[in-house]
């Protein structure tokens, strides 16, 4: 049985949502959030690969990334973790030619989060959509259940889009013991 959402949890969800929607890096927001709320573990956030088939970029995604049908699009699906908690799941469709060779190598060979890897590009985020996914009965989601979903396009400091991301934040992001389960 899940606990009801109290004022503290509701306020935390609103604060986190505002930070994610206004931040330039979801990874940086999550890392600061975990430290501020005293999550067990130590930074940095890790991006653990999720096995499964690669999802090709859609025509609409290619348009938003301003690439033609022949341009290579990279794909990465990960779970962002802090300590033992899975905070979110993310899918990234990115344009490898707009990243440095070193960035592409790190993305392919490590569990570094996308936000850490592309930090030197001084990215900005344009939110495409936001959905609150909390249970309709007024309870908090369990740690492995969806809380929020955000889709966004990342662009370089020069305004060149280089990544589209689909993020689902899980109840665990509220902190150990604060979500149901």
Long-range CB pairs of 37-41 (<8 Å, 24+ gap) are 37/12, 37/175, 38/175, 39/82, 39/83, 39/85, 39/175, 39/176, 40/83, 40/84, 40/176, 41/82, 41/83, 41/84, 41/85
Contact 73, 95 (CB under 8 A): yes
What mean pLDDT, rounded, does the chain reach? 90
**Domains defined for the chain, CATH in brackets:** 7-174 (3.40.1410.10)
Reported confidence tier of residue 128, pLDDT bands at 50, 70, 90: very high
Look at residue 120 and tell me whether its pLDDT is greater than 80: yes
Instruction: Please state the φ and ψ torsions of residue 89, each to the nearest 5 degrees.
Output: -120, 140
Least confident of 36-40, 63-67, 106-110, 177-181: 177-181
Q: Where are the beta strands (DSSP E) in 5-123?
A: 46-49, 74-82, 85-94
pLDDT digits (tens, 9 = 90+) for 84-117: 899 999 999 999 999 999 999 999 999 999 999 9
> Which residues, at least 6 apart from 66, have a Cβ–Cβ distance to it below 8 Å?
160, 161
Query: What is the percent of the chain with per-residue pLDDT over 70, rounded to a whole number?
Result: 91
Look at residue 142 and tell me whether its pLDDT is greater than 60: yes
Look at residue 6 and tell me whether its pLDDT is greater than 90: no
Q: Mean pLDDT over residues 46-66, rounded?
A: 95
Copy the structure tokens of residue 115. Answer: 């936000």
């Amino acid at each position: 049985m899940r606990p009801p959402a109290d004022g503290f949890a509701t306020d935390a969800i609103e604060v986190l949502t505002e930070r994610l929607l206004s931040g330039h890096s979801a990874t940086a927001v999550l890392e600061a959030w975990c430290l501020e709320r005293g999550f067990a573990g130590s930074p940095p956030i890790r991006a653990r690969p999720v096995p499964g088939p690669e999802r090709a970029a859609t025509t609409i995604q290619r348009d938003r990334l301003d690439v033609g049908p022949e341009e290579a699009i990279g794909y990465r699906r990960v779970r962002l973790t802090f300590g033992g908690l899975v905070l979110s799941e993310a899918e990234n469709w990115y344009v490898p030619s707009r990243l440095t060779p070193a960035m592409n190598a790190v993305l392919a060979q490590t569990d570094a989060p996308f936000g850490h890897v592309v930090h030197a590009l001084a990215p900005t985020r344009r939110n495409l959509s936001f959905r609150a996914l909390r249970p309709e009965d007024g309870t908090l989601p369990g740690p492995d259940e969806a809380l929020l979903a955000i889709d966004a396009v990342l662009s370089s400091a020069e305004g060149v889009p280089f990544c589209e991301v689909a993020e689902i934040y899980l109840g665990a992001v509220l902190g150990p013991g604060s979500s149901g389960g």
